[in-house]
Structure 1
Amino acid sequence: MLGQLATTGIGSGTSIDIIKFHAMFSVKNADMILSSKDDIHFRVRSQLLQDTSEWFRTLLSLPKNVPGANETDILRLDETGDVLAALLRMASGMEIPELSSIEFCEDILNAAEKYEMPGPISIIRLALSSSLLSTSPIRIYGIAASRNWVAEAKAASTRTLSIDLFHADNIPEISRLDSHILTKLLLLHHTRRQAFKAALDNASVFYASRDIIGSRAGQLLMIFSMLMSSDELSSPHVRIAGRSCISRNLPSTTSKESSNVCRRRSISLNTI
């Protein structure tokens, strides 16, 4: 019954009275009714929609050439009730719902872009850059990079440096990325690894001689690559102490050489 009423476009006064509305959007003097695809209804003032959405502003500027133009409109939308409720709460200046799920954030963002609502878009953009949103940095990077959000994309891509992009758990997120966005991310990882290798060969970064460092750079780089994955941190084959003196898995050296190798300056990947 609700689905039939919601698809009529115009509802009579009697039929609207039997529709169940969202508790936060049930003011009877509203002149529009929005219906979600799961048959949740929202009473909304058309002026609010015109003020906050270019899409609704254009829609509501069109002439009404239908009978009963003075009755309340029922407009069927493609979004779920949860997404519409969040979108309308943001547009209305109400308390923002919890945005802990990246899927929920992305659904709201897609709806806000569809209806051209800059306010909700800016809220989701801020949420994506918040440390409170616990999700894969690959996912956030993809969302930000596809919209040319430079600061957010840069922050997320930096966070990906601590994970193995090709770990089985990350493949679903990698497969979401457009090819040009994925290429940029792979290039970043390659560039950082090359920069780290160059730093190992640089005697001004390591106190050991260039010859000693050069002979071990490949092995140190391999161990460093293992350390990029959090799963490897507990490996019995890798031991980190103090300032990362990586001595196991290296060829035998004199104690003096090992000491020199370990006395390196700290290297920040973010500044290489």
Structure 2
Amino acid sequence: MRDPPPDPALYHPCFNQDDADIVLASCERSRVLFRLHSFTLRTTSGWFRSMLSLPQAQPPHSPREADILYLDEDATTLEHVFRMVSGLPILPIASYDLIDSILYASEKYDMPGPPSIVRTMVLGPTFLGQPFRLYSIACRYGWDEEAKMASERTLVHNIHAAEHKASLQKLPTSALLDIMHLHRERRELLRQRLDDPPFVPGGIATCVTCDELIDYHTWRELKYKITLEMDTRPLGDTILDHGLSQWPEARACWRAKCPNVNCDRVLYDKAETSRVIRECMDNLPKTVP
């Protein structure tokens, strides 16, 4: 006795053409069926091309339950993938979780089309706002330009923050080392520059005007604050836009004078200090190699 045909209500309304000859099912308990043309699957998927190249029985006009191919993906993922390979309008994608599912399915079924579409979609503001996840995906699939763009956007974040741990754990070792090196190198190069002329070492010295002993502790404290800020936000914009004007450590620097009341020389030049720090930051590496 032949199996009964599946309930027509189970078919996705966009994938229920009468002349389509392959029926695929999603993994949910309340599964969704997708009826597609074998030609579409052969030309867009290496996996289906190999499977369908095997000898096939002539399919009946109305498929039975036994004729359905059950897949491991949910209906949402399959709908997005099948729309992309079928030339149907593409639905908005609102989360990286869905992007991951689409890319994994495309990789599994050897479908080069959907990843190329996703690659353009991740350049939208929704996804650029999560640069660590974009960097992880771009590195996994060899999207070099997107990886560099994402690495630059990570500079407004603290790479050691707990919310980025899951994305970083997905990275290959080389990609993880590259992004960590970028963040650390920016901090270290700036820190080293702050020890070179025209900056003072930050210890005990003599006034160039009156030879009075001077303790440059205010500059030492400001350098420490700048270094901590580069750890938290390696882009460094908060140092230039706010820190050198508003931090207590910065204000103490600009107020500092020679302790000799007859000299009263201002110890630090705010404008020159800001100029040199800005110049240094402009020359810091901004992306992974």
Structure 1 length-normalised TM: 0.77
Matched-pair contact (CA < 8 Å) for 1:27–1:43: yes
Over aligned residues, Cα RMSD in angstroms?
Answer: 3.2
Between 174-183 and 139-148, report the one with greater CA deviation.
174-183
- Provide the rounded CA distance (Å) in 1 between the counterparts of 2:161 and 2:35: 47
Matched-pair contact (CA < 8 Å) for 2:25–2:71: yes
User: 2:22: which partner in 1?
Assistant: 32
**CA displacement, residues 185-235 of structure 1 (integer Å, 9 cap, x when unaligned):** 2111111112222443455xxxxx2436897478435435326647xx9xx
| Residue identity matched to 1:53 | S
User: 1:16: which partner in 2?
Assistant: 6
Matched-pair contact (CA < 8 Å) for 2:193–2:280: no
- Provide the rounded CA distance (Å) in 1 between the counterparts of 2:34 and 2:94: 24
Residue in structure 2 matching 1:97, options 91, 94, 104: 91
User: Using a 3 Å threshold, how does the CA distance of structure 1 residues 240 and 151 change in structure 2: closer, same or farther?
Assistant: closer
- Provide the rounded CA distance (Å) in 1 between the counterparts of 2:246 and 2:272: 9
What is the CA-CA distance between 1:269 and the residue it aligns to?
4.7
Counterparts of residues 1-272 of structure 1 (less than 5 Å): 14-16=4-6, 18=8, 20-38=10-28, 39-64=31-56, 69-70=59-60, 72=63, 73-133=67-127, 135-201=129-195, 203=197, 209-211=198-200, 216=219, 219-220=222-223, 222-226=225-229, 229=232, 244-245=244-245, 248-249=248-249, 252=253, 253-254=256-257, 255=266, 257-265=268-276, 266-267=278-279, 269=281, 271-272=283-284
**CA displacement, residues 20-76 of structure 1 (integer Å, 9 cap, x when unaligned):** 201111111111111010111011011111111111111111112x5x644544211
- Provide the rounded CA distance (Å) in 2 between the counterparts of 1:155 and 1:167: 20
Matched-pair contact (CA < 8 Å) for 1:158–1:270: no
User: Using a 3 Å threshold, how does the CA distance of structure 1 residues 51 and 241 change in structure 2: closer, same or farther?
Assistant: closer
SS at match of 1:22: strand
Structure 2 length-normalised TM: 0.73
Matched-pair contact (CA < 8 Å) for 1:157–1:185: yes
Between 243-252 and 98-107, report the one with greater CA deviation.
243-252
Matched-pair contact (CA < 8 Å) for 1:200–1:217: no
- Provide the rounded CA distance (Å) in 1 between the counterparts of 2:81 and 2:279: 44
Show structure 1 runs of 5+ residues with no match.
1-10, 204-208
- Provide the rounded CA distance (Å) in 2 between the counterparts of 1:61 and 1:271: 57
SS at match of 1:129: coil
User: Using a 3 Å threshold, how does the CA distance of structure 1 residues 142 and 242 change in structure 2: closer, same or farther?
Assistant: closer
